[in-house]
Amino acid sequence: MRRAGIRRTGQKLVAFLLVVLLVFPMMVPAQAKAATTLMGKRASASDVVEATAENKKGIQGVEFWTDSSDTEMKNSVHHVYVNLELNNIINTDGTGTPYVYNGKTYYFNYENYIKVFEWRIRELRAAGKIITAEILLGWSDNPEIQKLIYPAGRENGHFYYALNVQDADAVATLDATFHYLADVFGQSDCFIQNWILGNEITAPQHYNYCGSYDINTNVDIAVKSFDLFYDAVKDNSPYARVYVCPTHNWYDNLAGTGIPTKTFIDRFAAKEQSRNWNIAYHAYPRKMDKTMWSKDAAADLSHDITSNFVCAANLEVLTDYIKNTYGSKHRIILSEQGFDAKTLGEEAQAASLAYLYYAAARNDMVDAMIYVQFKDNLGATGAGLYQGLVNADGTGRQAYNVFKYMDGPYASTVVEQYLKYIKPNDTGTPISSWTDDIIWKAAPTLATITSAQLYIPDNQSGPCVQMAMSATTSASADLEYRWLVYDQSTAVWRVVSGWQLNQNILNWYPENAGNYLVQGEVRVAGNTNSVKTATTGYQYGNAINPPESAPAVSGLSSVGIYLWQYENGLIEGGAVVNDGTDKSQLSYRWLVYDVKNNQWIQAGDWSADYGIHYSPSSSGDYLVYCEVKDAQGTVVNTTVGVNYRHAIEAICQMPDPAGNGYLIGIQSFNNLGYYYEMQILDCNLYVQGKDAWIYTTGKCGTQGNTLWTTWQPVPGYYWTLFNLYDASGNLVDQQCYGFTNAQ
């Protein structure tokens, strides 16, 4: 079931098409004999295929088997994955195949659904394939099927639904269905070795909808559903393994609509101590239109336990955590992942696939790597995804041969050439081994953080609390941010977001009302010793009393400064006081100290305005000082330093006195090796959708700090863009001016 746009849109078509692909290619020949007594030879321990480094490769669907004449390709596949949908399995009108369980007769759609899977799986098992099946519950207009959906989740419009583990009748039907499936596919010759219950159940908005994003509700449903399914499988197919399927957002909560996978696993495992649960993980890249080694991807990937996402680039975060925390008896399969050839390119698709496979092959916690699809199909391409190993017309992509040969003797000839496409750095240097780290890394730098501020806007009603950090550096550099929260009711610090590249804004979703300390950390990418922190208090919801060891602060006691602008003509920011302060009775005063001129300037006299809005006359170092006074006369103060950069001092645009059209100029405060550029946009061409940039000086150096040009326009409306670049070509300042030439 996968994936559209950057994340997960348009998947209804994908889900539908996968059902088609898994059913229609499995048409049963006339001579096929279906089991009717369900008493065939039962699978035994000898039917279980244990994982080795050489037998982990797999694929979803059976097209590789039915639509390909490449015997070598077919033989190279070890794992085959299919979907079984409960709404297609269960018969509610009494016309299906009867099955007696606990003294009651249930009916299932054997002839027109189960039979085709049974026959195809027999064929694949005879060829030595290991079978994985995922159990899903989709929407149905049949009210009897709807009763199997968790009561609060009974609304159309979601891909898959959580099971109704509340009502006795629904539980009995599900229990019988699970026993039936384990009975049919617990036979030796059509043995399903791996059973997965649900798809990405930590994304309840889309795949396991129950009407709530609450962690406790979703974990409770997951545990009760897993218990029911696990016990049924072990009753009728005791050598099979049972898996739960979370998403790849390890520390991320899908903007408040999901549950971080690590949180889910910990909560689930705490309640599921008597059953041997396993994990079916989806190791997709962070974004479908970005490679795992891109700078954009590095914003959410690290090798720390707090990495927001886990994919092939940092797979050990997941596997080491499971192994070290819960033990290696809890196995992991990578049951679905793919890479888009259209947005990434065929070379990057092939390189991504190879890197993922080798990460799985060498990891002793991973038993399978199952690729999402063999061939492009209308459902996926209509949603903008081209993940197939072959095109819709059957012609192979570069990933086809990589998949075919990556676990065989020709790997060095076919696959090694794709190492050169993985370049996790700005220098364009490729990796040299499939074991190399591919998370983008900044080049080492001596740049340091010179100041850091944290700001949380007031009057946020939740459930999302937004906050931001600003920082200044000694030289131009990429920055990494990390966020921690101290819950005063538990006296525990918790990392809520691990180090992220150039991500200075956090969307925090507190689980409980209370008093918190929020700490932001910032460091220069490429200089991990350059960390600065900023901390502030925050009260979320109806605050609970903190423990006596950390008494709540009452009244004005501290103030912090957050500056959100300190360039382009303005130093602007605000003051944040401690929680427990009556802000309606506060007065603020702002002073600015010009270090270069050794001068204090009053930027704002005592008033109720908690903000500073100051326009410096030149670039330089400044100290921003704030005093806050309450109604009782208590005064607190704080100071922050800022390196203010107002690069463009003036611009000019006027008729040339010499009659040569317009005289246009740009002047900077100083010249630190700057390049100057002026560009003109024709508004008439712009509104016509034509190329509207009609004039440019290009990037020009100058001995002074001013650049002039003349330009002869025709009558019309124009915008002039004034750009200033540093010696490395980075844009440092920009202004725009509109004018009309009526002559």
Least confident of 545-554, 685-694, 717-726: 545-554
Amino acid making up residue 312: A
**Residue 42: inside a domain, yes or no?**
no
**Residue 435: inside a domain, yes or no?**
no
Q: How far is CA 666 from CA 592, 648, 670, 676, 678, in A?
A: 28, 7, 12, 8, 8
pLDDT per position as a tens digit, 698-729: 999 988 889 999 988 888 888 899 998 887 78
Q: What is the CATH number of the domain that holds 136?
A: 3.20.20.80
User: Average pLDDT, stretch 107-129?
Assistant: 97
The residue ranking higher by pLDDT, 17 or 576, is: 576
Of the pLDDT bands very low, low, confident and very high (cuts 50, 70, 90), residue 583 is confident
User: CB–CB of 99/105 below 8 Å?
Assistant: yes
Of the pLDDT bands very low, low, confident and very high (cuts 50, 70, 90), residue 568 is low
583 and 689 together in one domain: no
493 and 562 together in one domain: no
704 and 638 together in one domain: no
Of the pLDDT bands very low, low, confident and very high (cuts 50, 70, 90), residue 743 is low
* pLDDT score recorded for residue 284: 96
613 and 698 together in one domain: no
pLDDT per position as a tens digit, 163-195: 999 999 999 999 999 999 999 999 999 999 999
Q: What is the CATH number of the domain that holds 735?
A: 2.60.40.10
The residue ranking higher by pLDDT, 512 or 86, is: 86
**Residue 549: inside a domain, yes or no?**
no
Of the pLDDT bands very low, low, confident and very high (cuts 50, 70, 90), residue 572 is confident
Long-range contacts, stretch 740-743, CB < 8 angstroms, 24+ apart: 740/716, 741/662, 741/713, 741/714, 741/715, 741/716, 742/715, 743/715
The H or E element spanning position 462 is none
Cis-peptide into 151, omega within 30 deg: no
Integer Cα distance of 528 and 603 in angstroms: 36
* pLDDT score recorded for residue 28: 42
**Residue 437: inside a domain, yes or no?**
no
Percent of the residues in the chain that have a pLDDT greater than 90, as a whole number: 58
From 540, 534, 532, select the one nearest 487 (Cα to Cα). Answer: 540
Least confident of 485-499, 552-566, 596-610, 612-626: 552-566
User: Average pLDDT, stretch 319-337?
Assistant: 98
**Residue 7: inside a domain, yes or no?**
no
Least confident of 253-267, 348-362, 526-540: 526-540
3-class secondary structure, 12: helix
- Please report the beta strands in 102-240, taking only residues with DSSP state E, as ranges in sequence order: 104-108, 130-136, 194-197
The residue ranking higher by pLDDT, 389 or 383, is: 389
Hey, what are 251's tokens?
Answer: 């520390």
State yes or no: pLDDT of 554 exceeds 70.
Answer: no
User: CB–CB of 189/42 below 8 Å?
Assistant: no
Percent of the residues in the chain that have a pLDDT greater than 70, as a whole number: 92
State yes or no: pLDDT of 115 exceeds 70.
Answer: yes
* pLDDT score recorded for residue 462: 65
**Residue 37: inside a domain, yes or no?**
no
499 and 634 together in one domain: no
* pLDDT score recorded for residue 360: 98
Select, from the ranges 548-552, 700-704, 738-742, the one with the highest average predicted confidence (pLDDT). 700-704
User: Average pLDDT, stretch 690-694?
Assistant: 90
The residue ranking higher by pLDDT, 466 or 129, is: 129
358 and 314 together in one domain: yes
230 and 165 together in one domain: yes
Q: How far is CA 558 from CA 82, 321, 546, 555, 625, in A?
A: 60, 40, 18, 9, 13
Q: Which domain holds residue 513?
A: 447-538
State yes or no: pLDDT of 632 exceeds 80.
Answer: yes
* pLDDT score recorded for residue 542: 57
State yes or no: pLDDT of 621 exceeds 80.
Answer: no
Question: Of 419, 436, 460, which residue sits at a domain end?
Answer: 419
Of the pLDDT bands very low, low, confident and very high (cuts 50, 70, 90), residue 35 is very low
State yes or no: pLDDT of 26 exceeds 60.
Answer: no
State yes or no: pLDDT of 18 exceeds 60.
Answer: no
347 and 389 together in one domain: yes
Question: Of 485, 505, 538, which residue sits at a domain end?
Answer: 538
527 and 562 together in one domain: no
* pLDDT score recorded for residue 19: 39
User: Average pLDDT, stretch 367-391?
Assistant: 89
70 and 160 together in one domain: yes
Integer Cα distance of 439 and 461 in angstroms: 36
Integer Cα distance of 441 and 716 in angstroms: 48
Q: What is the CATH number of the domain that holds 479?
A: 2.60.40.3880
State yes or no: pLDDT of 380 exceeds 80.
Answer: no
**Residue 23: inside a domain, yes or no?**
no
* pLDDT score recorded for residue 75: 96
Count of domains for the chain? 4
Handedness of CA 607, 613, 617, 620 (dihedral sign): positive
User: Average pLDDT, stretch 210-233?
Assistant: 96
pLDDT per position as a tens digit, 638-670: 877 777 777 888 888 888 888 888 899 999 877
* pLDDT score recorded for residue 460: 72
Long-range contacts, stretch 6-9, CB < 8 angstroms, 24+ apart: 6/287, 6/288, 6/289, 7/287, 7/288, 8/203, 8/206, 9/383
Strand order, beta sheet including 706-711: 648-655, 662-668, 706-711
Print the SS3 string covering 82-126.
EEEEHHHHEECCCCCEEEEECCEEEEECHHHHHHHHHHHHHHHHH
* pLDDT score recorded for residue 253: 85
Provide DSSP, 433-450.
Answer: STTS--S--PPP----EE
Integer Cα distance of 438 and 293 in angstroms: 5
Least confident of 9-13, 415-419, 487-491, 572-576: 9-13
Question: Of 642, 676, 703, which residue sits at a domain end?
Answer: 642
* pLDDT score recorded for residue 582: 85
* pLDDT score recorded for residue 544: 38
522 and 564 together in one domain: no
Amino acid making up residue 337: Q
**Residue 17: inside a domain, yes or no?**
no
Select, from the ranges 8-12, 49-53, 494-498, the one with the highest average predicted confidence (pLDDT). 49-53
In this structure, how many other beta carbons lie within 10 angstroms of the beta carbon of residue 687? 10
390 and 452 together in one domain: no
Of the pLDDT bands very low, low, confident and very high (cuts 50, 70, 90), residue 364 is very high
pLDDT per position as a tens digit, 457-515: 776 766 778 888 988 888 889 999 999 998 888 888 888 888 889 888 888 888 788 88
* pLDDT score recorded for residue 373: 94
- Average pLDDT taken over every residue of the chain: 88
